[in-house]
Structure 1
């Protein structure tokens, strides 16, 4: 057992010396990030941008209210009828674009008609009603 221990110690010493013989790796030169980005020095969130077009002029982005999240199409049809009765213009959003469930997009001119109280009443009337505010045209800018 003693010989086995001594053999392992000798092998470890040999292994250590062998790795020290290799040429040490030299430090890699790191280019500053400011040289890559040029004039764009800061990080901006999508919510902080006002929607910039390709020519440098600022185009304001419209935000729409989305109501829905239903898994059944008839529930969203009943909600749309209820909104028409409230004189709120709502458009159906394709299921693939909205993610999971069926959604209605409320135009910015119809949002003042739907305050917190009206949204609470609608959520009591329609179980599982969700609402969120997102950009009307989506995240990707139109080209």
Structure 2
């Protein structure tokens, strides 16, 4: 009888240790955000930060509008002619530089001429037309 009692005590100890390992971890104490004071307290747009105006203008200049995504050169040539009639200056982009397909990079002055309405009209006219805004860096014109 003593051996049975000792066996049950040892099994109970193993059972306790086993359950302690499976217990869920306690959540860490997280300090509330309102306790952090300083310059990082409020969320502000980059354009609203003081002293960063020059940096933002440079960043805005580095973003270009790309039109295209066509699989053949005929469609991109027609789009280039159509944009030429709208007096939007564009530049051909190498096929691998802007993703799959043929793309045109719109000059910054041409971006002002192309609004949402004009892009919608162009997408109705050219079925495969896509547009995206990417950084201008690393995009070299084809010669």
User: Which TM-score band (shorter chain)?
Assistant: 0.5 to 0.7
The alignment status of 1:77 with 2:77, answered yes or no, reads yes
Matches within 5 A, 1:42-57: none
- TM-score, normalisation: structure 1: 0.55
Q: Which residue of 1 aligns with 2:10?
A: none
Question: Equivalent residue of 2:84, what SS?
Answer: helix
Matches within 5 A, 1:103-142: 103-138=103-138
Q: Which residue of 1 aligns with 2:99?
A: 99
- 1:19-68 deviation per Cα after TM superposition (whole angstroms, max 9, x unaligned): xxxxxxxxxxxxxxxxxxxxxxxxxxxxx99xxxxxxxx76552110000
- Where structure 2 has 5 or more consecutive residues not aligned to the other structure, the ranges are 1-44, 47-53
1:138: Cα distance to partner? 4.0
Question: Equivalent residue of 2:96, what SS?
Answer: helix
Question: Equivalent residue of 2:88, what SS?
Answer: coil
- 1:58-115 deviation per Cα after TM superposition (whole angstroms, max 9, x unaligned): 7655211000000001100000000000000000000011110000000111111000
Question: Equivalent residue of 2:132, what SS?
Answer: strand
More helix by share: 2
- 1:3-29 deviation per Cα after TM superposition (whole angstroms, max 9, x unaligned): xxxxxxxxxxxxxxxxxxxxxxxxxxx
Matches within 5 A, 1:25-44: none
Aligned residues, how many?
A: 114
